[in-house]
Structure 1
Amino acid sequence: MRTMLVLALLAFAMPAYAANHAVQIKGMKFTPSKISVAVGDTITFTNADPMTHTATALDGSFDTGHLATGKSAKVKISAAGAHPFHCAIHSSMKGTVTAK
């Protein structure tokens, strides 16, 4: 019984590791367009389209800058809540990051 208690306490004491998620830009859309992450996680946006795109949060919390074909950018999600984003060049391209 004591061993189980020690193991349970150790599990709670272990640090949580941030995850990395992937979003692909292809066919004039973000895939996936809706993604759920934890605060502190990163998202790698990769442009597989033949034209330049961005992934720009409407609340200003992240911006990949211009991504040419084949380029990637990582953004860290630092606040909880919904963070709608779009391509600043092609406003019809939209998505949402939800962080808990």
Structure 2
Amino acid sequence: MPLRHILASATALVLCLATPVLAADHAVEIRNMSFSVPALEVAVGDTVTFTNSDAAPHTATAEDGSFDTGRLTKGQSATVTITGAGTFDYFCTFHPMMKATIVAR
């Protein structure tokens, strides 16, 4: 293989490895006393925006304490960033029967 082809391939590889990966934003609506996405798969570094569409206040609180939106009243939103890999079960502190899961890879 000619040297120029090897150099071109090496340059292309370096450019691919140097390209930043952009984080995604995921939306979870809280309505009818439930989280709209019961199981959400995300990448580490992604954000999740929780929006309360119910009249009652709600939270999205991770069981392991890794995130907590705080109290959200109707129309309010809060965004959390997923900083590590794993499975994160979360619930509403006002209504503990409301549960969902985020899986981060």
Instruction: Structure 2: state its 5+ residue gaps.
Output: none
Instruction: Give the percent of matched residue pairs that are identical in Structure 1 and Structure 2.
Output: 48
Q: Match for residue 16 of structure 1?
A: 21
- Are 1:32 and 2:37 counterparts? yes
- Are 1:45 and 2:50 counterparts? yes
Q: Take 2:23 and 2:17, find their aligned partners in 1: how far apart are those partners?
A: 16
Moved over 3 A (4+): 1-5
Task: Give how far 1:61 is off.
Answer: 0.2
Q: Take 2:90 and 2:17, find their aligned partners in 1: how far apart are those partners?
A: 34
* Deviations, residues 30-85 of structure 1 (Å, cap 9, x unaligned): 01111011111110000011111000000000000000000000001111100000
- Are 1:70 and 2:82 counterparts? no
Over the aligned positions, Cα root-mean-square deviation in angstroms equals 1.2
Task: Give how far 1:9 is off.
Answer: 2.5
Scaled by the length of structure 2, what TM-score is found? Answer: 0.89
Q: Could you say which structure has the larger radius of gyration?
A: 2
Scaled by the length of structure 1, what TM-score is found? Answer: 0.93
Q: Take 1:52 and 1:30, find their aligned partners in 2: how far apart are those partners?
A: 13
